Amino acid sequence: MYPLGVGANTEKKTVPADLSRAGEARHFISWRAAVAGLGRGRLNDLAVAAEAALTDIFLSSEGGYLEIESTHTPEVFRICISHPELRERRMRDLGGILDRFLDGHELSPDRTVLVKRIRQEP
């Protein structure tokens, strides 16, 4: 019923920062967003932003582990992707990409927070 390694109440996942395991991170993020109620174009926008953030981490790291945590309220979905060993980012305009597809974000050398509204404002 749920994706491999993801239960209905799972809000946190640790994934090796290895391209061969990238699908696990993508799947966890999209699954948690769908469970939170994100749908339509908002889910697609989040997927594009998450893909950019994950790609940046894979390009900037030399292994290690990603820590992915999701939280949500009825209005907002938030995903935090961190790599404790990451010290700098390689993608030039990651912030610009995130601005285009998200309602908010935070970037630091070792952490990316993606924010998307679940419900559109009237």
Per-residue pLDDT of the chain (122 residues; tens, 9 = 90+): 344 444 444 589 999 888 778 889 999 999 999 988 898 889 999 999 999 999 888 888 888 899 999 999 989 999 999 998 877 888 889 999 999 999 999 999 889 999 999 876 55
Domains in the chain, CATH or no CATH each: 13-117 (3.30.565.10)
Of 85, 66, 61, residue with least CA distance to 22: 66
Tokens 């559109």 correspond to 120
**How far are the Cα atoms of 49, 73, 74 from residue 100, in angstroms, in the given order?**
8, 22, 23
pTM: 0.85
